[in-house]
Amino acid sequence: MPVKTQYLDATSDGIAAAAVILRAGGLVGFPTETVYGLGADARNDHAVARIFEAKGRPHFNPLIVHVPDLATAQTYAVFNDQALALAAAFWPGPLTLVLPLRGDAGLSPLVTAGLETVAIRIPAHATARALLQALGGPLAAPSANPSGRISPTRADHVLTGLAGRIEAVVDGGPCSVGVESTIVGLDGPPQLLRPGGIPQEALEAALGAPLAIGGDANKPNAPGQLASHYAPNARVRLNVTIPHADEVWVGYGPDCPAAALTLSATGDLVQAAAALFHMLRRADDLAGQGAIAFAPIPETGLGRAINDRLRRAAAPRP
């Protein structure tokens, strides 16, 4: 469904209008000092699902949660001394910390891709900060480009890639850093997960210790890792049109009236993506010693990301 993308100035009126759109579950491109982000309210499953739809992302990889200050960050993630040291040295700024997710965080599980960690950052850009204040909540935001394309550093780049797919873009001028934030994993020994706006040497100086070079942050879901992290206890069968007696059937679309649960009774892929992680948990609770059977999901648009996730949930366990 194409939407008309509003172009908003980075004035207090423009920012207020952007916050209204975000509160209503809309998508807004906004400037940060690194690149433009594609923002959605990180607590709103449906809004976060639409990020993946708008970008055409084939996988639900985890997103960075942007917050205005450390106190807010601490309501979502657990900070150890090393995390506090890096936050004090580099926030606000182009640094993202991957930290243990708090149980009471209240973020959409789509933001963390069902992981028990969350990537969090306090941006320095005045417009991003004003938008976070106006929203009064956490903004999930990947770079505001179609999947696999170049990250945008100007509002017109965002429009070129995403006009008609997002509600608005706020024009805060060109980004000063121009590369994405550095990502440091601190859920174990400090690891550099993605090089970016803060150099490794500066991080090591602040930590007083060398950083291990971690895996590719673009692939935290390297085979097995994410799957085993989020696999339900019950076995999972896919593309099921006739479930077995001991299976909890999770339907999709109007052809599964007998299903115990449904990802979307109307066959709406955005609704299905928004419901996916919740339904995996509920089906797991209901399944007991039995199994879970998912109805077929079309392999188009967001359906590709849903099916990717389901194949991981159904994969043989390590």
Least separation in angstroms between CB 271 and ligand TXA: 22
Site string for ligand TXA, 167-196 (x = CB under 6 A): -------------xx-x---------xx--
User: In this structure, are residues 175 and 153 in contact, taking their beta carbons and an 8 Å threshold?
Assistant: yes
| Angle made by CA atoms 23, 169, 300, in degrees to the nearest 5 | 80
Query: Which residue's CB comes closest to Mg ion?
Result: 143
User: Which residues pair with residue 7 across a beta bridge?
Assistant: 169
Q: What residue spans of the chain are helical by DSSP H?
A: 12-23, 45-55, 70-73, 81-90, 126-135, 155-162, 200-207, 225-230, 269-287, 302-314
Q: Of these partners, ligand TXA, Mg ion, none, which one is at the site of residue 221 (CB under 5 to 8 Å by kind)?
A: none
Phi and psi (nearest 5°) for 38?
Answer: -105, 100
Residue of the chain from 8, 15, 22, 32 that contacts ligand TXA (CB under 6 A):
32
Both tokens of residue 257?
A: 């009236």
Q: Which residues bind Mg ion (CB under 5 A)?
A: 143
Amino acid identity, residue 173?
G
Least separation in angstroms between CB 185 and ligand TXA: 6
Q: Rank residues 144 and 263 by Cβ distance to ligand TXA and give the closer one.
A: 144
Interaction between residue 108 and ligand TXA (CB under 6 A): no
Least separation in angstroms between CB 176 and ligand TXA: 12
CA–CA distance, 295 with 178 (Å, rounded to integer): 43
Burial of 180 (0-12, 13-18, 19+ CB in 10 A): buried
Both tokens of residue 179?
A: 């590369």
Q: Rank residues 220 and 243 by Cβ distance to ligand TXA and give the closer one.
A: 220
Residues within window 33-92 making contact with ligand TXA, judged by CB under 6 A: 34-35, 37, 61-64
Q: Of these partners, ligand TXA, Mg ion, none, which one is at the site of residue 63 (CB under 5 to 8 Å by kind)?
A: ligand TXA
Interaction between residue 5 and ligand TXA (CB under 6 A): no
CA–CA distance, 307 with 215 (Å, rounded to integer): 24
Q: Of these partners, ligand TXA, Mg ion, none, which one is at the site of residue 34 (CB under 5 to 8 Å by kind)?
A: ligand TXA
Interaction between residue 119 and ligand TXA (CB under 6 A): yes
Residue of the chain from 68, 138, 142, 172 that contacts ligand TXA (CB under 6 A):
142
Total residue length of the chain: 318
Q: Rank residues 4 and 216 by Cβ distance to ligand TXA and give the closer one.
A: 216
User: In this structure, are residues 187 and 100 in contact, taking their beta carbons and an 8 Å threshold?
Assistant: yes
The residues that touch ligand TXA, with contacts defined as CB under 6 A, are: 32, 34-35, 37, 61-64, 94, 96, 98, 112, 115, 117-119, 121, 141-143, 180-181, 183, 193-194, 217-218, 220
